[in-house]
Amino acid sequence: MIWKRDDVAESETQREVVPSRREERRMAENGEVTVVGQGARLEGTIVSAGSLRIDGQVKGQINADGDVLLTQQSQVEADIRAKSVSIAGRFRGNLNVSGRAELKRGGRIEGNITSKSLVIEEGGSFDGQSIMEKQPGQSPQTHAASKTTDARSEQVKVP
């Protein structure tokens, strides 16, 4: 299922989330950046040797050696494997991230996240399970959100 623009609150559609300078700099440092433009619709497997920025719609599987950035306009239904992921749009699927997973304000994740760290900004919505990868000397930790977690009203605490 791909979300329709009507699924987004009016205040969210008027506000545009653009990548921060830090995110753009990090992606540029990792080499080439592939962009899936706002009007693009792709189905299948996307493989990127560098970083990937998605402004359009993708359904399938995404494998990136670098970072993946889903902007506010993005609508993605896929499994993603990447170095780090930042989501400001709509995402449904599973994330397997070797580093940091970040859910931006207005972003929505429906699915499971496996990462070393997870950051949910105020106004981000997460419905699924988070598995924090094992750090040296620690056992893996699993956190579930049985309902949509809205960072404005609820905080997920890590023991």
The pLDDT-based confidence of 153 (bands split at 50, 70, 90) is: very low
Q: How far apart are CA 24 and CA 155, in angstroms?
A: 28
Four-point Cα dihedral 17, 93, 75, 128, nearest 10: -50
Average pLDDT over residues 99-126: 96
Percentage of the chain surpassing pLDDT 90?
57
Instruction: Give pLDDT, residue 18.
Output: 52
Average pLDDT over residues 69-77: 96
Q: What are the counts of helices (DSSP H) followed by strands (DSSP E) for the chain?
A: 2, 15
The pLDDT-based confidence of 9 (bands split at 50, 70, 90) is: very low
Instruction: Give pLDDT, residue 113.
Output: 96
Model confidence at 32: pLDDT above 80: no
Percentage of the chain surpassing pLDDT 70?
64
116 close to 133: Cβ distance less than 8 angstroms: yes
**pTM (2 d.p.):** 0.70
Average pLDDT over residues 125-132: 94
Instruction: Give pLDDT, residue 145.
Output: 53
Sign of torsion over alpha carbons 64, 66, 67, 69: negative
Q: Which residues, in sequence order, are CB contacts of 149 under 8 Å at separation 6+?
A: 120, 125, 126, 127, 156
The pLDDT-based confidence of 143 (bands split at 50, 70, 90) is: low
- Output the CA angle 24-30-35, nearest 5 degrees: 60
- Extents of the domains making up the chain: 17-150
